[in-house]
Amino acid sequence: MRKSLSTKKKDEAESVSLLFSSLHIDSNACDWTSERPDCKYTTPSGKVIGIEIVRCINQDDEVLRMQNDLYKACKFCEKDLRKSGFGNMIIWVVFRYSLHRSSAKDPDFCNIISKEIARHLIYDNYPRNKDADKELYKKLKKEGAFNYKYVESISIITRRNDQLDIEPVLMYSLPIITEASVTQCIRAKNEKLKDYSKLPCNSNISEFWLAIAIPWNAFTQIGNLPEFSVDSEYAHIFITDPYEYKQLK
């Protein structure tokens, strides 16, 4: 891969590296200066193929935006809790499953999370069985030890230096790829293909391919996607991630 390529182009090349390798396409031999389509590949026989690359994310949900909101909230909490004297630890925060992105619009969102993490740090070592010590249980409940709006739980790793890091646990917030997500990508790119075919710079292209790249952390495995029909003028359509690929057309 040439060093002069932009970050966008390097990311595109990386997202289809397994696919290209499996199809015996030398990524270094591709023309990555093209934008419409994203790259051009010339076969050993001299046939020019235009390859469009699209990253597939389910636009119907806001999972990735929610991840970003939680990450920003955790960074805010770091500063807030450092002022209170907390340090020497990494705190992994598990948020409640009922959390919705609209919650991040709450002006007190970050402040509430900071207070809830602080309460977890204080109260998590106390028993929550009211039958063990009813008076203590009543006292803790009154102080809000069991009342959490956003933070479900925390895990702590002690570190040697005085640094404090707070990170969100996002296992349940993985982007979900569905048949509808893939179909949406294909429909969007079908419209662009009409324009690509008319460009003079693409007059030497014999056929167009579409490569749909799934994020590495997507919940759905390609092999588990159901078979479905594809209506498109692209000669071939592939769906790929860092581990496997599948030809849809």
- For residue 155, the cross-strand partners are 92
**What is the reported pLDDT for 64?**
66
Range ranked top by mean pLDDT from 64-68, 78-82, 96-100: 78-82
Condensed to tens digits (0 to 9), the pLDDT of residues 107-143 reads 888 889 888 998 898 888 887 777 777 888 888 888 8
Task: Provide, for the chain, the percentages of residues in helix, strand and coil under a 3-state DSSP scheme, each rounded to the nearest 5.
Answer: 40, 20, 40
Give the C-alpha separation, 218 to 202, whole Å: 33
Condensed to tens digits (0 to 9), the pLDDT of residues 39-73 reads 999 999 999 999 999 988 654 455 667 777 888 88
Residue ranges covered by each domain of the chain: 7-60+175-247, 63-173
- Any idea what the Cα angle at residue 215 is, between residues 170 and 195, rounded to 5°? 140
Parallel, antiparallel, or unpaired: how do β-strands 48-55 and 205-213 relate? parallel
**What is the reported pLDDT for 142?**
84
More confident residue, 87 or 20: 20
**What is the reported pLDDT for 30?**
92
Give the C-alpha separation, 226 to 240, whole Å: 15
**Distant-in-sequence, close-in-space partners of 43: CB < 8 Å, separation ≥ 6:** 49
Give me the mean pLDDT over the 157-163 stretch.
85
Dihedral over Cα of 231, 237, 238, 239: its sign: negative
**What is the reported pLDDT for 60?**
47
pTM reported for the whole predicted model: 0.56
